[in-house]
Amino acid sequence: MYWILLPSQKLKNEAGVLWSYHNPVRVQFGPGSFDQLDACIAGRSYGLVTYPDAFCTALTERLAARAGPAVVVINDVAANPDYALLQAQTQQIADGSTPEVWVALGGGSVIDSAKVFAAANGDFGNVARFLETGNGAEVLSATPIIAVPTTAGTGSEVTCWATVWNEAAGKKFSLARPNLYPETALVDPALMCGKPLALTVSTGLDALSHSLESLWNVNANPVSANHAVYASREVMDVLPALAADLENLELRGRMARAATFAGLAFSNTKTAIAHSLSYPITLKHNVPHGIACSFSLPIVIESVSGVGGLCEDALGRIFEGDMPSAVTKVSTLLTSLN
């Protein structure tokens, strides 16, 4: 499901308009933030969700040296977490010790998987029933989560939902519960240096999609819009330069900050039509999520141009009042990134 502003639904930034904004995640940002992870765990038993590569293995060893070993480790996370794998992983958790807190060390798929485990508490069937029927929320758990993103784009470290795929059924679900907001997000740009070009571009475009989509969603509000304006301008300015200089810590920091702000924007609005269009493309053709949800942005911008209110105002700030060239600017960005 998606929402998009229509001319009859103008949301104006006026004192008399009712709106709300809430995000409970404690964000700690900056190079070296990873070293605060043991303090965030604070002596609790923890489960670790991560990738099996050498980079994450080294970080896992650093963490264990300071906080002790995890009581359960799930390190076979795949892109686009799927029912079959999540069910097997949840059974692994059920067969072991139950952690007091989950640490998600990786990209959006890792953080989304951790949210599933936090809700399932060893029984994936409870999560599946909730996703498929909307029933059974009362039996879902709420184990705290500490999110440590190693990519800049998904924003999952500051949202309360997780994307879950059922490839066999050809479906995509969103696990959305207020108690799935991470307790803490440690955003350390140093963990993102050296990530490959394709991943950097895809996740960066995902962040741009989040920020722009939050503006034409009917749940847009002045706080989310300010986050979105900042994030959109930064991504469009930084991503081409970062694509040419993947080891640049300053650019990684700006991109990570923009992605976090984009997450803060759509954490209160959800996304809209560009994301809705993307899911079957990813399911059927295995197109990376950030690519699938960004290709339609120019035409959506053209469609919402003239809608007025908060959306129009924010887009004007992003594109410096030159709305006729907005479509060209975004199209040029996408072309420059191949």
Average pLDDT across the chain, whole number:
93
Q: What percent of the chain has pLDDT over 70?
A: 95
- DSSP state letter for 97: P
> What is residue 304's three-state secondary structure?
helix
Domains in the chain, start-ordered, CATH in brackets?
26-191 (3.40.50.1970), 196-336 (1.20.1090.10)
Query: What global pTM score does this model have?
Result: 0.93
Alpha-carbon distance 263 to 158, whole Å?
6
pLDDT digits (tens, 9 = 90+) for 220-271: 999 999 999 999 999 999 999 999 999 999 999 999 999 999 999 999 999 9
Going by C-beta distance under 8 Å and a sequence separation of 6 or more, which residues neighbour residue 196?
246
Question: What pLDDT is attached to residue 305?
Answer: 85
Going by C-beta distance under 8 Å and a sequence separation of 6 or more, which residues neighbour residue 133?
none
Question: What pLDDT is attached to residue 283?
Answer: 87
pLDDT at residue 155 tops 50: yes
Question: What pLDDT is attached to residue 16?
Answer: 64
Going by C-beta distance under 8 Å and a sequence separation of 6 or more, which residues neighbour residue 282?
80, 172, 288, 289, 292
Question: What pLDDT is attached to residue 209?
Answer: 98
Alpha-carbon distance 173 to 171, whole Å?
7
What's the mean pLDDT in 17-27?
Answer: 95
Question: What pLDDT is attached to residue 338?
Answer: 83
